[in-house]
């Protein structure tokens, strides 16, 4: 009887640990997906900001809008080269 109770408790413990493991693996997979989406969006918006900054070099009228949203433009000196 004692061994039967111990086997039952062992099986119950193994089931509980398995359930906990599966739950944490699902959570980790969901967090990895969210991280992938965040990195994709960050790259997309960084590329958009770079394109807008490049456009701002050709069309100075957009610079106030870019500065208002926090996109910094590289300053160029009178000779056309970048400041050091």
Question: Average pLDDT of 62-75?
Answer: 81
What's the pLDDT at 7?
Answer: 95
Instruction: Give the pLDDT of residue 75.
Output: 62
pTM: predicted TM-score of the whole model, two decimal places:
0.62
Q: Is 69 helix (H, G, I), strand (E, B) or coil?
A: coil
Question: How confident is the model at residue 45, as a pLDDT?
Answer: 93
Average pLDDT over residues 69-81: 61
Q: What is the pLDDT of residue 66?
A: 86
Q: Are 52 and 74 in contact (CB under 8 A)?
A: no
The alpha carbons of the chain give a radius of gyration, in whole angstroms, of: 28
pLDDT digits (tens, 9 = 90+) for 8-42: 999 999 999 999 999 999 999 999 999 999 999 99
């Amino acid at each position: 009887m004692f061994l039967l109770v111990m086997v039952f408790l062992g099986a119950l413990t193994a089931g509980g640990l398995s359930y906990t493991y599966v739950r944490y693996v699902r959570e980790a997979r969901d967090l990895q997906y969210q991280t992938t989406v965040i990195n994709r969006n960050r790259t997309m918006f960084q590329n958009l900001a770079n394109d807008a900054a490049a456009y701002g070099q050709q069309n100075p009228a957009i610079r106030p809008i870019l500065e208002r949203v926090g996109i910094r433009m590289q300053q160029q000196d009178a000779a056309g080269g970048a400041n050091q």
